[in-house]
Chains A and B, each alone.
Chain A
Amino acid sequence: MGTHYLYKPATILQTNHIDVGAGIATLYFQRHRKFLVETIPGLSKFGIPYLSVSVSLNVLLTLMIVIRLVLHGSNIRAAPRSAVGISGLCKTVSTMFIESCALFTMGSLVVVGALVANGNVHNPDIYLPGGFVVDIFFPILAEIQVRAFP
């Protein structure tokens, strides 16, 4: 079933490092006062890449874990004298991973979409539909993140 090879999820580690770096860049450039006059959310320039990388990392990780679990379950089912009920356990764990990932992904995509809609507008007087969406959904996103309670 394709499990007979040495498997290194190096892509995931690189994406994780990019995520950490983008987060540090977001926090660092928040210190710059020129951000104050550029955009109202002030997060657009580094918040968009940071949240995008975070979403893609979450989706990739969840897909890899779920595919691994599904392959494991089908391997065990194919084996003689297999343990009864292991596929149900795999299904439950996969559902848990997918549900928590979907929650975070939907919230993040709303925030990223609002930040992109704001763009690089230099005049805060212009009414922007993205600003208040970010204001509403960013604190909610912070609470959603604790989905990762084990």
Chain B
Amino acid sequence: MRSSYVEEKATLAGSFIASILYGTPPTRLSIHTDFNRSAILGMVILLFFQCMAALLNPVHRRGEGIKWWLVSHTVAMFSFVTVYTAMNLHIQSKSFIDKRKDQALTPTISISGPLKYQLNIRVVALGIIPNVMFNLNNWLADGLLVSSLFDVTPTRPGT
């Protein structure tokens, strides 16, 4: 029996901080919020709406039309991170409320309770899907960087 529950507290703290980063509402309800004041809290939703406003604004287009692949890229990343946050919170509530009395399977592993449930669901869909979303987001972010590198790279000599 462990005396302190550092891992459990850390898991909960990580989920709370991630949720705060995801969606604490800005202090002023406008798309053009003062970015420097509200960038720390509620980063994801704020960035998503500012980004969509900039992408769909006809003033910025200079006759090029809306870049729909950028719009779909942004929507895809936002939905992935939304699924990640939602499933992470679902896992937390399920493990800390429903499965709070899970017993250890073998006596060699004395870990029990919510963390044991979280270790168990690493092999089923509920535990895998958040990590899949993490990887997809990572690949999309890297892909955007690669495409912008190709944009600024000259394709033929002398340009």
Q: Which residues of A contact B (CB under 8 A)?
A: 3-7, 9, 12-13, 16, 19-20, 23-24, 26-27, 30-33, 35-37, 40, 42, 54, 57-58, 61-62, 64-65, 68-69, 72, 104, 124-125, 127, 131-133, 135-150
Please tell me the size bucket of the interface on B. Answer: 35 or more
From 1 to 58 in chain B, residues with beta carbon under 8 angstroms from any chain A beta carbon are 2, 6-7, 9-11, 13-15, 17-18, 21-22, 43-44, 47-48, 51, 55
Give the dominant DSSP class at B's interface.
Answer: helix
Chain A residues with CB below 8 A from B103, complex form? none
Q: In the bound complex, do residue B6 and residue A132 qualify as a contact, i.e. CB atoms below 8 Å apart? A: yes
Given contacts A9-B150, A54-B142, A125-B110, A143 and B7 within 8 Å (CB-CB): no
Given contacts A139-B15, A143-B18, A143-B22, A61 and B110 within 8 Å (CB-CB): no
Q: Which 8 A-B pairs have the closest CB atoms?
A: A132-B10, A139-B18, A148-B141, A136-B14, A135-B10, A143-B21, A61-B145, A23-B135
Q: A4-B158, A68-B152, A143-B43 are in contact. List 9 more A-B contacts (CB 8 A).
A: A9-B150, A27-B132, A30-B123, A35-B122, A61-B146, A104-B141, A146-B48, A146-B77, A147-B141
Given contacts A143-B44, A149-B48, A16 and B142 within 8 Å (CB-CB): yes
Distance in Å from the Cβ of A55 to the closest Cβ of chain B? 11
Q: How far apart are the CA atoms of A38 and B141 in the complex, in Å?
A: 31
B73 at the interface (CB under 8 A from A): yes
Q: In the bound complex, do residue A65 and residue B148 qualify as a contact, i.e. CB atoms below 8 Å apart? A: yes
B95 at the interface (CB under 8 A from A): no
B138 at the interface (CB under 8 A from A): yes
B128 at the interface (CB under 8 A from A): yes
From 72 to 128 in chain B, residues with beta carbon under 8 angstroms from any chain A beta carbon are 73-74, 77-78, 81, 84-85, 88, 108-111, 115, 119-120, 122-123, 127-128
Give the contacting residue for A58; candidates B7, B14, B81, B145; CB below 8 A: B145
Q: How far apart are the CA atoms of A54 and B145 in the complex, in Å?
A: 12
